[in-house]
Amino acid sequence: MKSLLIFSSLCVLLVESKTIIEAKQSVRKFPDGFIFGAATASYQIEGGWDADGKTENIWDHMTHKEPCLIADCSNGDVADDSYNLYKRDVEMMRELGLQFYRFSLSWNRILPTSFPDKINEAGVQYYNNLINEMLKYNIEPMITLYHWDLPQKLQDMGGWANPHIVDWFADYARVAFENFGDRVKYWITMNEPREVCYQGYGDVTKAPRLNMKGIGEYMCAKNLLVAHAKAYDIYDKEFREKWGGTVGITLSATWHEPEGDMDADLAETINQFEWGQYAHPIFSETGDFPPIMKEMIAAKSAEQGFYRSRLPEFTPEELELVRGSSDFLGINHYSTFLVRKIDERDSFEVPSYWDDMEIVRYQPEEWEGGASSWLKVVPSGFYKLLHRLRELYDNPPIMITENGFSTRGGLEDDNRVSYYRLYLDAMLDAMDEGCDVIGYAAWSLMDNFEWMQGYTERFGLYEVDYSSPERTRTPRKAAFVYKEILRSRSLDPNYVPDTTVMTIDGVNS
């Protein structure tokens, strides 16, 4: 019976995917006002790890101390050398015809002591140069304040587990708003809190690798959400009227599908633990962590002998500060998992995030995938995710801040082209049915340091030659296809690009 249920779920997903593929035979238009861009992050592309006064962050510290924690024993010391090659980066944006470019600031490059007592003018100038070069060609900057590269000095004092980080982050945000807010209208406070907290504090799969399962990730989550809200509040009260920008947060949002008919509640539970943990406090009418999380963690904590729940509580003032603290919901989406109840095959550490849920997730081997072990091609999951967000949070404006496909390299990337077309088609289906999706950023503009995987996995529209001192960037086939989508503002499944030369068409010049 169990195998029959699994087979049934697989068949449903395959039929849904086939339906989407068949729907792609006609050209589809994107609505007026919808904006297209591409995304990167500071540590992944900038290099210049100690250039011009920049100090050490947690990824510098980890990769220098234990290089081979990274798959290829590499680091971001030079990466794509965007610290020196930013004009080439902007040239690529012009070649693609981007309307916006999402990048992150390096906290250490701007505030070398981690605090506002010393502002590094060289770091500020680097970002001014990049912003001004983009605006010269009508490309809107979209700044992420925090994309995983915490100053090591702050980590030494507890990092996101220390409640004082709310003020540390608020001070950093204010400095960024003061220096760049006159030209930057799109702000994102945090990138993927789930990865910051679960992977870095609960587990060991991202820096700082604290391995404090069932405790560290929840302490981190609460402090990060309050820090986000404090930064939003600062912009709202001090800068919005003057500069008229918008401030949001970006969440990783994987879709979870039940293995069988009896597992629907499990799928909803894991969705609430994974992305509802961060969305519910901000976007729901009531605020606070999702009720299912609060109930399950409190019950488990009591069973385990804790005097209180391992999930920290918001004060009434914090709850109100966090609730509603975002102008849009940024979503990074890549893939889908099936879920089932734990059984005798499974064992989790106690306490831990997964033991709190009592859920296992997995992806069938037969699903088509990318170079990343977790990236399977299931566009129907993207469609369902957007619908569920619409239902849960009263159809908030959604910005797709990352979506993309990994390979091992090479310019002929038909599987990446197919992925983009399938996922954009699924997104259009959701939009046609009322989901308020306002923009889309491809991950990534170019190959970069892919965190624990180093340079072994490539997400770039442009291939980067890391053997070249010039870090030569070359457009892949997907870059030409994406360029045509942006130029025509349509999704044409039959378009075959001429990949012999990439030109600037003058759209943004």
Short-list 280, 310, 286, 316, CA closest to 298:
310
192 catalytic, yes or no? Answer: yes
Beta strands 437-443; 35-39: pairing state: parallel
Q: Which residues pair with 144 in a beta bridge?
A: 104, 188
55 and 108 Cβ atoms separated by less than 8 Å: yes
What's the rounded Cα separation, in Å, for the pair 208 and 222? 18
365 catalytic, yes or no? Answer: no
Cα 397 to Cα 247, 250, 383, 400, 434, distances in angstroms? 12, 12, 15, 10, 11
The number of residues in the chain equals 509
Short-list 100, 90, 183, CA closest to 130:
90
Question: Residues 487-496: contacts with CB within 8 Å, 24+ apart?
Answer: 487/97, 489/29, 489/30, 489/34, 490/27, 490/28, 490/29, 490/30, 491/24, 491/27, 491/28, 491/29, 491/30, 491/421, 491/424, 491/425, 491/428, 492/27, 493/24, 493/25, 493/26, 493/27, 493/421
Check 192, 268, 450, 463 and give the catalytic one: 192
Which stretch of DSSP H or E encloses residue 240? Answer: helix 240-243
E runs forming strands in 125-263: 140-146, 186-191, 246-252, 255-258
Q: In which residue are the tokens 């999702």 written?
A: 290
DSSP state letter for 452? G
Q: Torsion angle, CA of 285/290/291/295, rounded to 10 degrees?
A: -160
What's the rounded Cα separation, in Å, for the pair 391 and 44? 35
What's the rounded Cα separation, in Å, for the pair 350 and 329? 33
Check 46, 140, 257, 402 and give the catalytic one: 402
375 and 415 Cβ atoms separated by less than 8 Å: no
Beta-carbon-side half-sphere exposure of residue 348 (alpha carbons within 13 Å)? 19
Q: Which residues are catalytically annotated?
A: 192, 402
